[in-house]
Amino acid sequence: MSQRLEFFSAGEPLPKARTPVLRIAARFFPRRCSKALAAVIAAAAMSAFGEFSATVSEVDGDIDVVLENAVFKCTYGPVSKFYTDQDETCIKELVVNGGNDVVGRFYMDAMVKNEEHDRGALNHAEVVVDDASEKTVQLEWDGSAVVQRVTMYPHKPYLKIDYYRYYMYVRDFPEKTGGTPIVYGANDWCRVDGSNPFGEGIFPRSYYRPEMGDPADGGSLNYAGWFIMGTLSGSAGFGRLLPVKHMSVIKLLDPHKGYEFYPHWVTKGSRQPFTSILYIITGGEDELFTQGMLLAENTEADPPAIDLPEVGAIGRAPAHKARPTAIAATYKSGAVLVKVVSPGPHSIRLVDLKGATIMHRTTQGNHTYRVSLDNVAAGMYLMRVKATDKVVNKIIVHHGR
């Protein structure tokens, strides 16, 4: 088991490390760290970019959470997404010192409950650790059926995210356009048929497929028990560490979207708490890997045990609103069945994951009808039905799969 990364206050003498790796980790930024990131850290230590703080606030019924230090600021807040009627609280902004928006143009650390629902809006948030060495916020969604703890450290360019309760999979979509997913060891990993799943295009089941002979331990993707991956636009972006033993599936999306990861889904046993690291990058691919390797060598994959809140307890009620029932849409056998209870005109629109319209039609009246997708390529789409009285329903369609 790897040892937990140690943290020290500014000016505190560094202890003698037991190994060279731990000595480097105590400093965190070794000589091989890029000059660009080192400059950001050095400038941040002397700047007024941000007090080391964790705050929870509520505006118009929405909970915002901000973690900030001298290096970067992370904001959890409500985000509207095209494939669902419900806003979800996730990372909507990640900004480095100096105002350079690294990955704040879309959403990250989002979570999907099932094909029609995300985890929704935060129903509870509180600062549970607030001292000079760390700030930790406990976040709860869906009546506390989902529980995470997010920790920031002073002058460190990363977050530790402990997932205690979670749903089907997590999404990191860092940007609407641009950004290239990068995975440690991907160039050396091929399936038994000779294919490399990291080049298949949209929604490949990149890792892992037992029927294709994929190694359960991640093969060349495994570094010290972790997957190291991230997304870069030029030299800036972010990295993710994911523990191999807890990940069942990782899907790399198209080159400009991001990825999804499924912990303990079908394979690798029942759901267990796990830890992930999200870190800032300003020095390109080399920095993504070198800093990821240091963190992997010094981070535990399993978070410490905590007392979890009762699901649905008083004060932990789900925050999202019920879906309208005037319109119902279901997908079955290559078609969408749409039932509308609205005498006025209504429209049906099928869009792809980039928001491009694939099909659009209008109709009128109370009835159920079948929308064939025979001429639509296999893939994941959003079917959106809207009436003139602004009644809306949306479903995610996994067509041809």
308 is a domain residue: no
Instruction: List Cβ neighbours of 363 (8 Å cut-off, separation of 6 or more).
Output: 345, 346, 347, 348, 369
- 291, 359: one domain: no
- 374, 269: one domain: no
- 82, 153: one domain: yes
Q: Note the pTM of the prediction, 2 decimals.
A: 0.69
DSSP tag of 207: B
- 348, 270: one domain: no
Query: Which residue segment(s) compose the domain that 391 sits in?
Result: 327-399
- Strand pairing category for 53-59 and 62-68: antiparallel
Biggest CA–CA distance in the chain, Å, is: 76
- 342, 275: one domain: no
Report the range out of 99-108, 193-202, 243-252 with the highest average pLDDT. Answer: 243-252
- 102, 202: one domain: yes
- 72, 171: one domain: yes
CA-to-CA separations, 8 to 28, 166, 189, 328, 383, in angstroms, rounded: 10, 31, 38, 56, 51
pLDDT class of 178 with cuts at 50, 70, 90: low
Is-contact 77 68, C-beta < 8 A?
A: no
8 is a domain residue: no
Token pair 């948030």: residue:
125
Which domain CATH number covers 389? 2.60.40.3080
List, for residues 264-316, the tens digit of each pLDDT value.
Answer: 988 888 999 999 999 988 888 899 999 999 999 999 999 999 999 988 765 56
Predicted local confidence at residue 343, as pLDDT:
64
Query: CA 304, CA 271: separation in Å to the nearest integer?
Result: 16
1 is a domain residue: no
Instruction: List Cβ neighbours of 242 (8 Å cut-off, separation of 6 or more).
Output: 226, 227, 229, 250, 261, 276
- 189, 59: one domain: yes
* Domain count for the chain: 2
Examine the pLDDT at 214 and tell me if it is beyond 70.
yes
- 224, 347: one domain: no
122 is a domain residue: yes
- 239, 367: one domain: no
DSSP tag of 153: -
CA-to-CA separations, 315 to 120, 123, 307, 341, in angstroms, rounded: 16, 8, 16, 35
* Mean pLDDT in residue range 72-92: 83
CA-to-CA separations, 380 to 127, 173, 399, in angstroms, rounded: 38, 16, 6
- 187, 55: one domain: yes
- 252, 390: one domain: no
